[in-house]
Copies of this chain bind each other. A is one copy, B any other.
Amino acid sequence: MKKVKLAFLGLGTVGCGVMKVLRQNAEMFKRREGLDLDVKWVLVRDKSKPRAVDIDPATLTTDAGTILNDPEIDLVAEFMGGEEPAFTYIRKALMNGKSVVTANKEVIAKHWHTLEQEAVKSGAGLYYEASVAGGIPIIKTIRRSLQANHIQKFMGIINGTTNYILTRMSEDGSDFNTALKEAQRLGYAEPDPTADIEGLDAKFKLSILSTICFRNQVPLEHVFCEGITRVTAEDIAVAQQLGYGIKLLAIGKKHGDRIEARVHPTFIPLSHPLCAVRDSYNAIFIEGDIVGNLMFYGRGAGDFPTASAIVSDIITACQNENGHHRTGMDGAPVIFEKDWISRYYVRMLVSDRPGVLAEIAGLFGKHGVSIESVIQKNRGENASLIFITHEAHEQSLLRALEDMKGCAAVSSIESMIRVER
């Protein structure tokens, strides 16, 4: 039996979840894993605040130094969230040779390289399974079970809030604001929902996931990001008629030395397994050159699902498997693609008169965008045209749309949504 002294940084929802799991399944960890896990310190801001778990007041401290300089502490688990002071504490812990387990997507997305270097230097371990897709074991699986593969592409539903909102819009016909309010009422969305609905949360996770999949750092500034606030009930209805669902996807692709990483609402065929991922569930669909298609599905958030990933990391860290410090990065220089190739859905209000379609089709053609299908909906003042294009360069499509804004026949371009198959 190996006795391990842990310290927690933070004791919010996730921290309390981890504490409950460590207690609830303590006998199992001793029996199956040979580990006696003891939480010696918990860093909190306010010792008197009521908590969701009973806790010995002697373990609480408001001083990070107590933890970071305690030679008895083998491992630090961080649940504070946010960039600072979490980053400083994690770095200090690694410099002091303490392994770190964290769920902090912002710190890992922004500072992975620095932290990994500190870990290699001191021989400590750095684990962050919970930072992407909560309870779904994805990071360790890619690193430890898919080593035979070059991963060429992945598409993930990695934000539960937006998936819940899009599911409600799709199944109940609600508009965005109604679905958002419902999500807030149920606690799936924050009172300030910006980070979720604008795609920022997914952006952090995509940066981490593409770094792991492609074995090349994919810094945040190279991740394209568009949220779901402009997706309308009408777009969802039209998508369904065309055989598609709309999901906020985090997409990563690697072709040779070119990497693209983008978060945006996406048309995806109703028959695609990602389309069956409903409510606040997450899923990641991966294409490897050897294994073909894989999908991993589960809870992307919540105290217990997140705790499942964190406790697994704690156990892995304590068993001190070797090979950790092989970061497995390829390190070759890469180009971050901005002018990727995609199919596009475009919906626009137009004048209902002969020749309009020819004029608009001409503008697509001028920029090398060819059209797979077009449907006219309604007549007269509400006439609209709905296009699905063949594969085209993003910049060509954008230039075509720019041209159309100056075209008398086009009253407004209502939507442009990328299409994946």
Contacts and interface: CB of A to CB of B under 8 A. Distances in A.
Contacts of A312: 144-148
A227 interface: no
B294 A135 contact: yes
A299 B308 contact: no
Contact of A144 (B140, B277, B288, B302): B140
Interface stretch (A29-37, A186-194, A394-402): A29-37
14 contacts: A21-B148, A21-B290, A135-B292, A137-B145, A141-B141, A144-B144, A146-B312, A147-B315, A273-B277, A275-B276, A281-B293, A292-B302, A295-B295, A321-B323
Contacts of A281: 293
Contacts of A292: 135, 298-299, 302, 304-305
A48 interface: no
A299 B310 CA distance: 28
Contact of A146 (B24, B291, B308): B308
A115 interface: no
A150 interface: yes
A89 B273 CA distance: 41
Nearest to A299: B292
Contacts of A114: none
A151 to B, nearest CB: 11
A292 B277 CA distance: 15
B144 A316 contact: yes
Nearest to A290: B308
A330 to B, nearest CB: 7
Interface string A137-159: 10011001111111000000000
Interface residues of A, number: 62
Nearest to A137: B145
B141 A330 contact: no
B297 A294 contact: yes
A277 B277 CA distance: 12
Contact of A273 (B297, B315, B321): B297
A33 B144 CA distance: 10
A302 B289 CA distance: 13
A78 to B, nearest CB: 17
A419 to B, nearest CB: 20
A294 B137 CA distance: 9
A416 interface: no
A228 B271 CA distance: 24
A296 interface: yes
A229 interface: no
A308 B286 CA distance: 13
A310 B145 CA distance: 10
A293 B298 contact: yes
Given A32-B330, A312-B144, A295 B297 contact: yes
A136 interface: yes
A346 to B, nearest CB: 29
